[in-house]
Structure 1
Amino acid sequence: MPGRHVTDHQMRLFMKHRLTHPIPVAAARAGFSVATGYRLAEDTRPPSEKHGTRGRRRPDPLAEIFEAEVVPMLQANPGLRPVALLEELLRRHPELGHGIRRTLERRVRQWRALNGPDREVIFRQTHEPGRMGLSDFTDMAGLGITVAGTPLPHRLYHFRLVFSGFEHALVVLQGESFVALAAGLQDALWTLGGAPREHRTDSLSAAFKNLAPEVEDDWTRRYSALCDHYGMAASRNNRGVAHENGAIEGPHGHLKRRVEDALLLRTSRDFGTVDAYRAFIDTLVGRHNARNRKRIDAERAALRPLPARRAEDGEDTMVTVTSSGGFMLRRVFYSVPSRLIGHRLRVRLHDDRLEVFLGGTLLMTLARGRGYGDNRRAHVVDYRHVIHSLRAKPGALPGLVYRDQLFPRQAYRRLYEVAMEALPERAACKLVVGALAIAHERACEADLASLIDACLDAGALPALAELRTRFAPDPEALPQVTVQMAPLSAYDALTTSCGEARA
């Protein structure tokens, strides 16, 4: 056919049919014209042997300078990119022009293949069921997740079994830490119902914290103890060699893409609470595991049995409650009831909460704070802890270091801002502190906030006396208790009867 080259296969077919048929028939059966058949009959070489080596169509622009200038640069710095070599050559020889870029790239690639340094070899592994699980953290800042309209900077702790692809993800708010690693790993193992023989991480600061030697030793011991508790051998890949942890580095991207797709289908990246976002992640991971159910069930049979209980995944530390009504921990101030001032408390630190103990008694659980900005300081304050003292000294409110964190709802913050503009400072502080005291004493924080918003929207400030009256107990709702006093003669009769009984 015109425009198509005869192949070696057609040539062999033509020569075969030519033994028993004339040239026109043999050419037809081979799939080309009669004229081509007569031409090939005169020269029986296969077409592949007739084509000579294609020569250059233009002079080699690098003929005189590649060996003399480019090769020495490559030998001295093997990592040089062709684009950097091109810029240097154009600086030395402006007459070459940018048209030599592709030629230079081909020559450099060929030189490296023949004379370049040896490259690292990736050794593919055979994975056995129940042998290895991997842990790593991945940053989720690029997805733009918000909680109640506020950006949520966070990471995901990601666990994966190499053989079956079982995955577990935990939303981590405080960054990479041993606490987050221990909580996420144990959640994954107890969800799975068993433990692999080996647990691998990269050079996590959570497991191998590169700070002071004594801190690094302590954290390494805790990580080793955690793995020993579940009968797992602890291992890690070489620093900076991510492909040694490739069985989870690649799935990081797959997980993020699944989250991104689900967010697009959801049409919103905002969640009401952190717990709602955690449930969203758990649902996605659960669907993925359901697709691998058969392989996961097969691997479960090869896992080590779990111990009788979980290992402690919190970090204990001791703090002292100061006269400010709280304690500092990791650059965050936490308020506690003022009756604890001067006491030493034991705090168990988790990724999202603090458990506060007095001796062996659990006193309370506090949300864990996170500092932002240059000084990375924050305050976690419950107005109920300090309202009794603030009520006696309302003038301390304007300069209070944690004033903005004191207000439990936006309505109370609005009340402070409007009152400070409309009233003298002392009267404004009395109004705001009085409103907070009513919210605490009458347990009406939400209802009072709604009333304050309504008043402010109407352009008026609520009166403190009216708030006290509005949220005072209804006299008709109070039970009527009538106490009748027994006559003293009844006691005489009681003592008499007791004496007769002894007789």
Structure 2
Amino acid sequence: MMAGSRVDLYAAIRRDARTGMSNRALQRKHGVGYRTVAAALESAWPKARKPPPKRGSRLDPYRDVIDGWLRDDLDAPRKQRHTAKRIFDRLLDEHEATGVVSYGMVRDYVATRRREIRIEAGREPANTFIPQEHLPGREAEVDFGEVAIRLRGELVTCALFSLRLSYSGKAVHRISSSAGQEAFFEGHAHAFNVLGGVPTGKIRYDNLKAAVASVIGFSRQRVEADRWTAFRSHYGIEAFYCQPGIQGAHEKGGVEGQIGWFRRNHLVPVPEVDSLAELNALIDVWDIHDDSRRIGSRAHTVGEHFSTEEPLLAPLPTEPFETGRWFTPRVDRYAQIAVRMNKYSVPARMVGRQVRVLLHASNLVVFDGKTEIARHERLMTKGGTRVDLDHYLEVLLRKPGAPPGATALEQARAAGRFTPVHDSWWAAACKAHGDAEGTRALIEVLMLHRHLPHDQVVAGLAAALNAGALTADAVALEARKHDNSTEEAVIEISGEPLASQEAPAVRSLTERRLRAHLPADDRPLPSVEKYDQLLASRRENPNKGAAP
């Protein structure tokens, strides 16, 4: 076996173990010890330092210039078009690329890009497609597509993951905030769980950065990302990489067409949702309904074909694979952490400390040791900041002048967590107690959200504002009254049901006990007869104990 990374070694050991080889045979074949074999069989991911991220090419700043010259060649005489050598010389002379790019870099780029530009302009002859037959349970195709959704009123672009079985056409979809490696893994894991197994043959991919670290020449050989190698080994996936460019898209035309069909039939008009989780729940329902459709001129539906294919899929692994990626950032003085060029808030008490972050496709979870301390929806753009007002409340108590211009307060307003009722009560409290004390009272009210539902606290604020009660204790009391008056939809008295809206609000513990049919308190009332006897004896001897 050729020398490779430790992940490749683990993958080879696990593959041979599936064929029934014993541990001793695995040790002899791969030249490793018992501990290495045991570790490989226990987990597909070795405990090793992650490699540094791949840097960009030095040719990147000149790609648009080269593309422009190649497009000009479309209308130039055949014998007067740019060669790779001529393009290289012009870069050195006209764009000061001396010592930056090499001839080999330019030659490899032009060899691929020239044909792509001719295809894009319609100058290449039409390709002839060969009909294919796919065996049930063996092949699948995977790809990402862009979709636009309206998330909390804002139009954003997301990534639509699709895994399609080639035989039945059964497809599973998943939307995430990006097409990164986390979304790539989560899409696979979700699809395999829905399908109930893994294709036993090959799954077709293009050259996604989540899976492919680099393409070797013009062949189908690829240098895979280590985490992708471990993921494939965990599920037993056999990957087939398509050719780069338009030709590669034709090799997995099923999933390419499936994404377009799904986008046109389910995402038009643009869906409006409050979260990606809500949209993915709708997508799961749409995928089930799509089982009843027929593809092309097929005699059977997708669901009928899948019923034949499902028993032939390979079983799922017994243990899940962690699709998220761990980071260990340090909390800065603004109580924020930097993850993937974005910043997220954590509780202010964590300033200066190092935390653990598990990054998923659409959210991230922050841990202090094993305790979860924050959870955020993942930002979709770079250079953004997402903060939670609750993380800064203890600091704002000591700095009552900070809230009016705080970023956390503005984001809470935009998200609807800080309502106009909060603003009205805050203004009234500042007018009654002064700006500093009124703001401190507001912060105490905001702390109630940690223990009471949001709607309940807002109702308490409104009731306290109408009553002129401008203290946090009054808001807490009104919020709990609101909870007591609406906690039961239907109550029953003397065996007859009575709607709660017809019954008066519960205002005392005794009344609430009666409505809940708790046993009555039949203990006797306290008596003071013995004390009366003492008073009577004192009246009979008024001078007893007096001084002579």
- Same fold per TM (> 0.5)? yes
Structure 1 residues 137-176: aligned runs within 5 Å: 137-141=144-148, 145-173=149-177, 175-176=178-179
CA–CA distance in 1 between the matches of 2:126 and 2:150?
A: 44
Instruction: Please report the TM-score for the alignment, with normalisation by the length of structure 2.
Output: 0.55
Contact 1:176-1:205 at 8 Å conserved across structures: no
* Partner residue, 1:47: none
Unaligned residue ranges in structure 1 (runs of 5+): 1-71, 79-115, 212-216, 479-503
1:257 aligns with 2:264: yes
- Give me the whole-angstrom Cα distance separating, in 2, the residues matched to 1:371 and 1:430: 38
2:226 alignment counterpart: 221
Structure-1 separation of matches of 2:213 and 2:422? 44
How much does 1:164 deviate? 1.0
Instruction: Give the greater-gyration-radius structure (CA).
Output: 1
Which of 319, 324, 330 pairs up with 2:329? 319
Q: Residues of 1 paired with 2:189 and 2:328: CA distance?
A: 25
Match of 2:309? 299
Residue 192 (structure 1) aligned with residue 195 (structure 2): yes
Q: CA deviation at 1:191?
A: 1.4
Equivalent position to 1:377, from 378, 384, 399: 384
Give the aligned partner of residue 17 of structure 1.
Answer: none
* Partner amino acid, structure 1, of 2:238: A
Per the TM alignment, residue 286 of structure 1 is displaced from its structure 2 partner at its CA by: 0.8
User: What is the alpha-carbon root mean square deviation over aligned residues?
Assistant: 3.9
TM-superposed deviation, 1:246: 0.6
SS of 1:252's equivalent in the other structure is helix
The letter of the residue matching 1:367 is H
1:428, 1:202 → 2: CA distance?
A: 60
Cα distance in 2 between the residues matched to 1:296 and 1:334: 43
Partner-residue secondary structure (3-state), 1:370:
coil
- Aligned pair 1:446/2:455, yes or no? yes
The Cα of 1:183 is off from its aligned counterpart by 0.5
The answer to whether residue 416 in structure 2 is matched with residue 410 in structure 1 is yes
Task: Give the letter aligned to residue 208 of structure 2.
Answer: L
Give the 5 Å matches for 1:363-442.
363-364=372-373, 366-370=375-379, 372=381, 376-381=383-388, 383-407=389-413, 410=416, 412=418, 414=420, 427-428=434-435, 431-441=438-448
The correspondence for 2:235, drawn from 230, 233, 245, is 230
Cα shift at 1:428: 4.8
Q: CA deviation at 1:136?
A: 1.1
- Quote the residue 1:248 is aligned against: 255
CA distance in 2, matches of 1:340, 1:73: 64
Is the alpha carbon distance of 1:446 and 1:227 closer, same or farther for their aligned partners in structure 2, counting shifts above 3 Å? same
**1:403 partner letter:** L
Give the aligned residue type for 2:230: A
From 353, 359, 374, give the equivalent of 1:343.
353
Q: What is the CA deviation profile of residues 224-248 of structure 1, one whole-angstrom value per residue up to 9, with x for unaligned ones?
A: 2211211111222122122122111
Letter in 2 for 1:200: R
Which residues of 2 match residues 3-152 of structure 1 at below 5 A? Answer: 120-141=127-148, 145-152=149-156
CA shift for structure 1 position 438: 1.4
Q: 1:286 to 1:76 in 2, by over 3 A?
A: farther
1:464–1:244 Cα change, 3 Å: farther
Report the AA paired with residue 277 of structure 1. L
CA distance in 2, matches of 1:167, 1:371: 25
| Inter-partner Cα distance in structure 2 for 1:275 and 1:354 | 14
CA contact (8 A) 2:212 2:225 kept: yes
Q: Where do 5+ consecutive residues of structure 2 fail to align? A: 1-74, 82-122, 216-221, 293-300, 482-506, 511-548
- Which amino acid in 2 is paired with 1:206? A
The 3 A distance-change label for structure 1 pair 138 and 461 is farther
Query: What is the deviation of 1:368?
Result: 2.6
User: Matches of 2:437 and 2:278 in 1, distance apart?
Assistant: 38
Q: CA 1:339/1:405 → structure 2, altered by over 3 Å: closer, same or farther? A: same
Are 2:244 and 1:239 equivalent residues in the alignment?
yes
Residues in 1 aligned to 2:158 and 2:380: alpha-carbon distance in whole angstroms: 13
Q: Deviations over 1:39-78 (max 9, x none)?
A: xxxxxxxxxxxxxxxxxxxxxxxxxxxxxxxxx9786699
Residue 212 of structure 2 aligns to a residue whose secondary structure is: coil
The two structures have a TM-score, normalised by structure 1, of 0.59
Aligned residue type for 2:337: F
